Homo-oligomer: A and B are copies of this chain.
Amino acid sequence: LALVLYDFTAEPGNNELTIKEGEMVTITNQNIGGGWIEARNSQGETGLVPEEYIEVRQSNVDSSFVFPVIHCSVVSVTDHSLKWYSGRRDWSWRLFVGFPPGAVDDDEWDDEWDDLNSPGPGSAEPEVEETGGSNKAEAQAASKKINLNKFPSFSRSGPEVFLLANLPPRGKDKISVCVCPIGPVWLYPSLQMDCVVADPKKGSKMYGLKSYIEYQVTPSTTNRPVNHRYKHFDWLYERLLEKFGSVIPIPSLPDKQVTGRFEEEFIKLRMERLQGWMTRMCRHPIVSDSEVLQLFLTYKDEKEWKSGKRRAEKDETVGVMTFSLIEPEAPELAVTEVEQKCESFSRFTKAMDDRVKELLTVGHDHWKRCTGPLPKQYQKIGKAFQNLSTVFNSSRYQGTETLTNALTATGKMYEEIANIVSEQPKKDMHFLVELNNEYKSLLGCFPDTINVHKAAIEKVKDSDKLVATNKINPQDKHTMAKRLSNMSYSLQAEMNHFHSNRIHDYNRVMQLYLTEQVKFYEMIADKLREALNQFTTI
């Protein structure tokens, strides 16, 4: 039995079924694939409907209680458990048209992708297995292109499905939260992993027809470098986002860029940013521990890389289900505390986001001034002094040389100062801007994350009512509360991780910035002192 969430009008000749929002239909065949399900309406008519448009109902609860489906494709199901392939943040059309993340790249389809899947772009999907039926919903994905225009954008609510879902069996895959005096924290490794991104080189494939830049990535654990191009970083990003993105903020990679991507400045800047991103990923205990990052940093050969990628893409514990991996050894938190902490983090991240953006705006304006009008001013001053000196020299008045030489030297000094001024932002403001861009990206992840938590909080706050109206049983209520508490521990641990890194990062960058600023002004003072010394007191 399934509830229709959205209207759908059948296209003639396609074996499709028209359905209306709120209608109940019976699923007759889930194995169509490509995002379609066969269903029968109350009139007995059968046809295909988009999987996303309906919501499977659990048969032993009131049909008005809804677990909204968070996304579309469902992967293999074992053991009567409900697994939702809920990783992709960009939940809407990208999944259905089958574009793997990173495919809108400067290049055509990666050969590696082609090996895995049916030929032609847009046909990569995870493999599916058939399973036995039960009163739980099952579906399978297959290659069938869906018309984009038919899908409205999904609401992003619904992660509370985690609150009552049947969890997968406990694997070794677990995320520990400890409670310290400071509060809940992730369990950090004794030795923090690091990696160095360096040595950009031009690589090519298809007999030189396609070229790209490869970076050498060297983790501190093995000290053995591996090569990766931007596309690979992007693949890593998508995997991390999928698996951990509901739990921790996974900041986006530096921009894709098609034009000018072989230019030295661009490559250098991109490398710097990839370095920053990798460092931040390595610093996070959850990420540094993850198989996918380990694969990325330590794969031995192409074969291992390719099979590792396939395995990573088949990971079933993704999205909000990742919360199930979290094991705080700590007492259950009351929903009021959970709510209060969530609200406080929401306010903080919003406020910091504003101030970070303010700093970026100010920094950008200052950069423009330092590389435009200000050096021009110094240039003009320098030229004016030199011009005056030239005139003085033309007087041929005896004893004029010291003054004219000193005046010329002063003029040239101001021209040097003009250059120093225009080069300075790259030495100080650059790092301030880069860090704030990283934090803007990080902070940009929080609204969605906070919403996941808020939605869950609301559900738990409702749980008494739900028990009273027999929508859930008291055991369910307890489960929900426990799971919400786990979610909160993870949010608090993540906030403490965020704050700790924030303090470290801003402390470092401010010291770097101010150190360079001091050097800058001292250098100008030195130059002017040098000019001053050329004048003699007659």
In the complex, per-residue mask of A333-360: 1 if CB is within 8 Å of any chain B CB, else 0:
0000000000000011001101110110
Instruction: Say whether B365 contacts A377, CB under 8 Å.
Output: yes
In the complex, per-residue mask of A412-423: 1 if CB is within 8 Å of any chain B CB, else 0:
000000000000
Partner of A535, one of B410, B511, B538: B511
Instruction: Say whether A366 contacts B355, CB under 8 Å.
Output: no
Partner of A395, one of B348, B358, B535: B348
Selected A-B contacts with CB under 8 Å, 10 pairs:
A182-B397, A356-B388, A359-B388, A362-B381, A403-B503, A407-B506, A504-B538, A511-B537, A515-B532, A518-B528
In the complex, per-residue mask of A374-397: 1 if CB is within 8 Å of any chain B CB, else 0:
100100110011011011101101
For window 523-538 of chain A, which residues contact chain B by CB distance below 8 Å?
Answer: 524-525, 528-529, 531-532, 535-538
A330 lies within 8 A of chain B by Cβ: no
For window 25-74 of chain A, which residues contact chain B by CB distance below 8 Å?
Answer: none
- Are A387 and B355 CB-contacts (below 8 A) given A410-B510, A531-B514? yes
Partner of A502, one of B392, B517, B522: B392
A398 lies within 8 A of chain B by Cβ: yes
Q: Which residues of B contact A407 (CB under 8 A)?
A: 506, 510
Measured CA separation A377–B364 after assembly (Å): 11
Instruction: Say whether B521 contacts A525, CB under 8 Å.
Output: yes
Measured CA separation A174–B165 after assembly (Å): 115
Instruction: Say whether A510 contacts B535, CB under 8 Å.
Output: yes
Q: Which residues of B contact A380 (CB under 8 A)?
A: 362, 365-366
Instruction: Say whether B403 contacts A507, CB under 8 Å.
Output: yes
A9 lies within 8 A of chain B by Cβ: no
Partner of A352, one of B391, B410, B524: B391
* Number of identical monomers bound together in the oligomeric complex: 2
Q: Which residues of B contact A241 (CB under 8 A)?
A: none
When C-beta atoms are compared, the residue in chain B nearest to A344 turns out to be: B396
Partner of A397, one of B365, B499, B517, B532: B499
Instruction: Say whether B348 contacts A394, CB under 8 Å.
Output: yes
A221 lies within 8 A of chain B by Cβ: no
A373 lies within 8 A of chain B by Cβ: yes
In the complex, per-residue mask of A491-518: 1 if CB is within 8 Å of any chain B CB, else 0:
0000010011011101100110011011
Instruction: Say whether A351 contacts B535, CB under 8 Å.
Output: no
Q: Which residues of B contact A400 (CB under 8 A)?
A: 499, 503
Most central of A359, A366, A385, A521 by chain B CB within 10 Å: A521
Measured CA separation A348–B385 after assembly (Å): 16
Measured CA separation A489–B500 after assembly (Å): 82
Q: Which residues of B contact A359 (CB under 8 A)?
A: 384-385, 388
- Are A525 and B528 CB-contacts (below 8 A) given A410-B514, A502-B392? no
Instruction: Say whether A381 contacts B366, CB under 8 Å.
Output: yes
Measured CA separation A538–B351 after assembly (Å): 25
Can you add 16 more A-B contacts, CB < 8 Å, to A182-B397, A352-B391, A407-B510?
A348-B395, A351-B391, A355-B384, A355-B388, A359-B384, A362-B377, A363-B381, A369-B373, A373-B373, A374-B374, A395-B499, A504-B538, A511-B532, A511-B537, A515-B532, A522-B522
- Are A528 and B538 CB-contacts (below 8 A) given A366-B377, A503-B399, A514-B410? no
Partner of A398, one of B182, B348, B373, B385: B182
Measured CA separation A537–B512 after assembly (Å): 11
The 9 closest A-B pairs by CB, nearest first: A521-B525, A514-B532, A397-B499, A359-B384, A362-B384, A355-B388, A521-B524, A522-B525, A362-B380
Instruction: Say whether A369 contacts B365, CB under 8 Å.
Output: no
Taking the closest CB of chain B, its distance from the CB of A135, in whole angstroms, is 46
Measured CA separation A369–B514 after assembly (Å): 24
Instruction: Say whether B535 contacts A529, CB under 8 Å.
Output: no
When C-beta atoms are compared, the residue in chain B nearest to A502 turns out to be: B392
Q: Which residues of B contact A499 (CB under 8 A)?
A: 395, 397, 400
Taking the closest CB of chain B, its distance from the CB of A511, in whole angstroms, is 5
Measured CA separation A384–B528 after assembly (Å): 31
Partner of A528, one of B363, B507, B514, B529: B514
- Are A348 and B503 CB-contacts (below 8 A) given A511-B537, A514-B535, A518-B532? no
Instruction: Say whether B518 contacts A521, CB under 8 Å.
Output: no
Measured CA separation A362–B411 after assembly (Å): 13
Q: Which residues of B contact A528 (CB under 8 A)?
A: 514, 517-518, 521
Q: Which residues of B contact A506 (CB under 8 A)?
A: 388, 392, 403, 407
Instruction: Say whether A507 contacts B521, CB under 8 Å.
Output: no
For window 301-318 of chain A, which residues contact chain B by CB distance below 8 Å?
Answer: none
Measured CA separation A25–B22 after assembly (Å): 120
A406 lies within 8 A of chain B by Cβ: yes
Measured CA separation A397–B180 after assembly (Å): 13
Partner of A522, one of B397, B403, B521: B521
Measured CA separation A403–B358 after assembly (Å): 19
Taking the closest CB of chain B, its distance from the CB of A253, in whole angstroms, is 25
When C-beta atoms are compared, the residue in chain B nearest to A515 turns out to be: B532
